[in-house]
Structures are given as C-alpha cells and as structure tokens.
Amino acid sequence: MRTLFYPRLAWDGIRKNRRLYGPYLLTCVCMAAMYYILGFLASPAALALLPRGKSSVEMILTLGRYVMLVFSLVFLYYTHSFLIRRRQREFGLYNVLGMGKRNLMRIVTWESLITFALALAGGLLAGLALSKLAELGLVNLLGGQVDYRLRLDAGALAGTAACYAAIFALIWLSAVIRTYRSSAVSLMKAESVGEKPPRGNWLLALLGAGLLAAAYWLAVSIDNPLDALVWFFVAVLMVIVATYLLMIAGSVRLCRMLQRNAGYYYRPRHFISVSSMAYRMKRNGAGLASICVIATMVLVMLSSTTCLWFGAEDSLLSRYPREINIDVRMNDPAQLNDANLNLFREAIAEFVPQRGAVLENVQDYRFINLSGMLKGDTLQCDYERAGARVRYGDLRDVCVISAADYAAKTGAPLKLSRGEAALLVDKMRYAMDGIALAMGDIEHRWTVKSVQKGTLVEPYAGVALPRVTLIVPDLAEAIEGFELTDAKGLQKAQIQWIYGFDTGLSDDDNSRLAYDMELELAARLFEDSEGSGFRSFTVEDRADGAADFFGSYGALFFIGILLSAVFLAAAVLIIYYKQISEGYEDAKRFEIMQKVGMTKPEIRASIASQLLTVFALPLAFAGLHLTFAFPMIRRLLTLFSLYNVGLFARTTLVSFAAFSALYALVYLLTSREYYRIVSGAA
C-alpha cells in the first residue's frame, strides 16, 4: 500500500486540477498524434500509394516533422511551466505539512510519468486512428488510388515514442529543478503577495516599434525574389521580437500614458479599464504575443500553401506553355538557321501524325539567354571583368530575341532600325537611353527605342532574377565575337530554339509521345547533323511536369493544413489558460468592486470591453503583419512560378476570415469559463 502512496498523490493532483491538466494532455496527445501521422505518411508503405511526386512529398513531410518536433518542445515546455506555477501553493502546503523536497520531487516525478504515459498512449492511439484518414486525404489530393487496408508503421511509432519521451524528460527535469529551488514559504506565499505595478520599459517599447517598422520596410521594399528569400527569415525574426516587445512593454507604456492624463483617466468608462489593462498586459503580454505570432504563422502558411495549390495549374502553364515543349540548344547563334531547324520541324511534322495527334498552337522562336552584371547601361556578361565582387543586386537575367521572332511569337510587328533595341523589363526598372551587351572587351551597343514592363520568354521555375529582354534587329549580331565558353568549358550563354505544340492527346499518351519522340529525334538528327553541334535537346511534356507540381504543391498544401491545425490547437490552449488564470485573479477584484458600489452590469461591461481588447489585439496585429508580409510573400511565390497576385490576395483574405471566425468562436467558448470562475467567486 505504502508504495502506491506517491502515484496516488500524483494522480489526485492531476485529477483535482483537471481544468488545467485536461487541455494540456489533449495538446500533448494532439501533437504526438500529428508527429506519428507525419512519420507514417513519409514511410515507404504510404509513399508507395502516391501516383507521383514521391520524393518531394517525402522531403516536405520530413521537414514538417522537424517543425512539429521543435514546436512541441518549446510549447509543451512553456505550458508545463505554467501548470507547475499554478500548483506551487499546493506543493507549499505539502512542504509545510512535513514533506521534504525529496518527497515533493517524487510526486513531481510520478506526475510526469503519468502524464507521459497518458499523452503517449493517447497520442499513438489517436495517431493510428487518424493516420488512415490522413493517408486517404493525401492520396486523394494527389489523385492516387485509395484503398481501405489499415497500415501502421513501426518505425514511426518508435520514433514518436522516443522523441516525446525525450521532450517529457526535459520537462520533468525543469520541474524537478524548479521544485528543488523553491522554499516552503515562498511556495505558500506565491499568490498572496501584492503585485508591483507594471512599468513598461520605454527603451524596449521604442526598440519594438523600431524593429517592427524596419521589418515592415524590408517587406515592402524588396523587389528581388532571391533577396526576399534571404531577408524573409530576418524579417520574420524581427517581427517576432518586435511583437513580444510591443505587447509586453509597449502596451503597458501606453496605459501609463493614458493614466497620466487626468481628464481622460478619471472617467467611469476609462478608470477601471485602463488601470486593469496595464496589469492584464503585464501578465498576458507574452501570451498575447505568442497568440499573435502563431496566428500570423498560421495565416501565412494557409494563404501561401492554398495559393500554391490552387495556382498549381497556372504555374504549370507558365512553366510548360504547351503540352509538348522542345528545347534545342546550340553552340553558336549561326546554327539557329532555318536549314538546321527545318530538320527538326520536318522530323516532328512527320512523327506526330503517326501517333494520331495533331500539331496545334505551335510556338516557334529563337532566343539567347545569358546573365550579366548591370553597370550603368552596360550588361557585362563576363563576371571576371565585372569586378572582383559579384553583387547580387546587379545581376540580371538577359534574354535576346530578334524582332522577327518577336513578331512571329506575339503577332505584333515591331519595326527596328539597325542599332535600335526595344526592351522588356521584369522586376526592374530601366531609364537609360542606350544599352550594351559586353563579354570581356567586346561590346555591342543599341539605342533604346522603347521600354515596357513584361517578359517574352516564359520564365523557368526558379529564375528569380530581374530580367531584361532585348528585342534586336538581328540575333546573331547581338553576341557576335563573344567568348561563349569559360575556362572550365561551361557555356556562358544559352542559344536556344523553342518549339512547342499541343496534341489533343491524353496525358498518358502525351508522356509516351514525348518519350518516344526524344528517342526518335535523337536517332534521326544526331545522325543527320553530324558535326552541326547541337549541344543538347530536350522534349518535355506538361503531363510529366504536372506530377511534380501537384506532388510538391499538394504535399505543401496538405502539410500547411496539418501544421495549421496543430498551431491553432496551441493558440487555443494559450487562450484557454489565459482566461482561466485571469479568471482566478479577477475574481477577488470583481468582489471588491461590487462592495465599493459598482453594479454587476457595470463590472460586466468593463470586463467585456477589456476582454474584447485583449481578444482583438493579437488578431489585429496578425492582420497588420500579414498585410505587410503580403508583398514579400508574393515575391517568394514567384520562385514557385506563381504570378497570380489576385489568387494570392483571395486566399489571404479567405484564410484571414476563416481564422478570425474560428478564433472568435474559441474566444467565446473560453470566455464562458472565465465568467464562470469570476462570478462563482463573487
């Protein structure tokens, strides 16, 4: 019997504090389950069900798993320290009643063991139960064949158990250390000591405002997607730090300023609210900032992943303009003559009908693609000449196309005299009168006839540099005399011919056609054009690309939803604990106010307005963050070939609306708990 004393005491402690422990355990269960599910989906058995994009799905899922793990650790640690703090009084009582530190630690240890066992068992069971659902969801999303066999993955089970055991061990260790360090008297007194009035730190408040302004400026001022990628994480960190500083120090500072204004402060409507808000913010600043950061995270994740998913079709079309796309690369611009190209054109025209297909919407143009450093009005394509330091900001993607091919491609005739060029610019501005293309000492110069926004050649996925397209009278002249291979034998310019068409065949037939045609063309042309110097040619079909696109975007979308759900659960828990702890603290105050002559409706109105402010603050801030993040994320999405701003704006708005609705619901539900505590004590 004696041996069961501590476990029983620990169990009693958990049971009596179930209002605190219940949600905590639920979150543990939720996180462990999610971790197992992600592991399970990334297992070979589950991946085998996917029709396409296996490797990208696996990579994204594994990444999501790491995120999950780190988040679990931070969040559960934080939450548990809150639980322990609330129980200090109970431990103090035990201590006064004659329990030593050693005994208290035994209770804490048993408590940790019990919560761990419950959390893991619950998490794994929930994970097993829900993993089938998640699998169906993912397979369905990616258009695979679903079946109804139940699978489980031993490796993922063991991994989940091990990871969460480690997390709980860390939490246990910190709880033991905390118990060891505190003294009986301080344990007992913890709640009754009067609290110092909050004094928001000026410096921290200003620092927060400054950081936020800087981060916002970064977000709106960066044009270059690659820069955006680098600075995005910096901006995110700045925003997180700024949010915490502003919520903790800034808000209190603001309340203090309002209190100094006697005419404003000593009014029935402001008096109680302003002074309690200062305390509320001091206690809840960190919690509110966390809610705000999580909310922003969820919103960014949801809006961008849904946007990618729903924009996958667009991205696919911009990456693969036709069902079949042939890309031939030459060594020399002189080789882009009609005689050479006709070899291809004829071979294709002969081959395609054999498959019962037609040649529709034919795209046929030549261009040269290189990159250069823009200095003044000169694009230097030889980096060694451009100077020792290659500055990212000066780097430009350069396309050159002849006026004739431009007219053929767009159907808009363009008159250019010798020595004239028309420019198309993308993600950059250009205001010079002339422009020059240089390779080492050789330089070709044109006068600029017109500058327009846009790009002619479809950008490749991943090409994120600002791009300038030169439309010139003659393509070969544009790079005449250029040294096109560097010391290592690498090509400095891509001399390309693009030939694309639609076939009217099914996806599978198109894939087969592309594959066979590549072999056929290789067999015919490499024999025919011996020595004519094709560097390479590829035949790509959109159907094949679609697999990768939908695979990775589908997986991103899926994981966006899963992680959003977990983060949301965490935000809900923070809100819940905030309401409960405020309820206990406000109960006493509520009672006093009533005794000194406030009516219940008055008190209720005052509390409601404070709760509303505290409720709206993180959401409003998250909305603001999201607004400023919008231009930056939009640039990042171009790295994924997504250019549809309207779509992104829509998914962002919908995400925000959905999140707000859910948030309001949670707040209403948890507010009830708050009122129950407050009025129960009054």
Partner 1 sequence: MLLEVKGLRKVYRTRFGNRQGDSRVSVEALKNVNFTVEAGEYVAIMGESGSGKTTLLNILAALDKPTSGTVLLEGRDFSKIPEREVAAFRRDNLGFVFQEFNLLDTFTLEDNIYLPLVLAGKPWPQMREKLTPIARTLGIEALLKKYPYEVSGGQKQRAAVARALITSPRIILADEPTGALDSRATDELLKLFAEVNRQGQTLLMVTHSARAASRAGRVLFIRDGEVFHQLYRGDATDALFYQKIVDTLTLLAKGGDRA
Q: Which residues bind partner 1 (CB under 8 A)?
A: 193-197, 262-263, 266-268, 271, 275-276, 278-279, 589, 591-593, 595-599, 601-602
Supply 173's token pair: 């260790």
Bridge partners (DSSP) listed for residue 534: 330
Supply 525's token pair: 């042309």
With respect to partner 1, which residue has the nearer C-beta, 219 or 272? 272
User: How near is the Cβ of 270 to partner 1 at its closest, in Å?
Assistant: 9
Helix (H, G, I), strand (E, B) or coil at 376: coil
With respect to partner 1, which residue has the nearer C-beta, 411 or 680? 680
Contact 606, 336 (CB under 8 A): no
User: How near is the Cβ of 286 to partner 1 at its closest, in Å?
Assistant: 19
Q: Which residues, in sequence order, are CB contacts of 112 under 8 Å at separation 6+? A: 168, 171, 172, 175
User: How near is the Cβ of 169 to partner 1 at its closest, in Å?
Assistant: 39
Q: What is the dihedral of CA 212, 214, 215, 221, to 10 degrees?
A: 140
User: How near is the Cβ of 258 to partner 1 at its closest, in Å?
Assistant: 13
Residue indicated by tokens 């042939």: 326
User: How near is the Cβ of 126 to partner 1 at its closest, in Å?
Assistant: 40
With respect to partner 1, which residue has the nearer C-beta, 639 or 682? 682
Supply 312's token pair: 């996958």
- Burial of residue 508 (CB within 10 Å: 0-12, 13-18, 19+) is exposed
User: How near is the Cβ of 188 to partner 1 at its closest, in Å?
Assistant: 17
Supply 51's token pair: 């029709």
AA letter at 218:
L
With respect to partner 1, which residue has the nearer C-beta, 107 or 272? 272
With respect to partner 1, which residue has the nearer C-beta, 57 or 277? 277
How far is residue 208's CA from residue 233's CA, in Å, rounded to a whole number? 17
Q: Which residues, in sequence order, are CB contacts of 566 under 8 Å at separation 6+? A: 30, 31, 34, 68, 71
With respect to partner 1, which residue has the nearer C-beta, 531 or 601? 601
With respect to partner 1, which residue has the nearer C-beta, 608 or 668? 608
User: How near is the Cβ of 276 to partner 1 at its closest, in Å?
Assistant: 5
Contact 369, 399 (CB under 8 A): yes
Bridge partners (DSSP) listed for residue 378: 375, 436
With respect to partner 1, which residue has the nearer C-beta, 280 or 467? 280
With respect to partner 1, which residue has the nearer C-beta, 263 or 489? 263
User: How near is the Cβ of 273 to partner 1 at its closest, in Å?
Assistant: 11
Q: Please spell the DSSP secondary structure of 307-348, one letter per residue.
A: HHHHTHHHHHHHH-SSSEEEEEEESSGGG-SHHHHHHHHHHH
AA letter at 213:
A
Backbone CA torsion sign across 289, 295, 298, 303: negative
Residue indicated by tokens 């959109």: 542
With respect to partner 1, which residue has the nearer C-beta, 190 or 229? 190
User: How near is the Cβ of 175 to partner 1 at its closest, in Å?
Assistant: 29
How far is residue 52's CA from residue 39's CA, in Å, rounded to a whole number? 19
How far is residue 171's CA from residue 188's CA, in Å, rounded to a whole number? 23
User: How near is the Cβ of 682 to partner 1 at its closest, in Å?
Assistant: 11
With respect to partner 1, which residue has the nearer C-beta, 354 or 599? 599
Bridge partners (DSSP) listed for residue 499: 326, 364
User: How near is the Cβ of 681 to partner 1 at its closest, in Å?
Assistant: 14
How far is residue 678's CA from residue 604's CA, in Å, rounded to a whole number? 10
How far is residue 491's CA from residue 482's CA, in Å, rounded to a whole number? 11
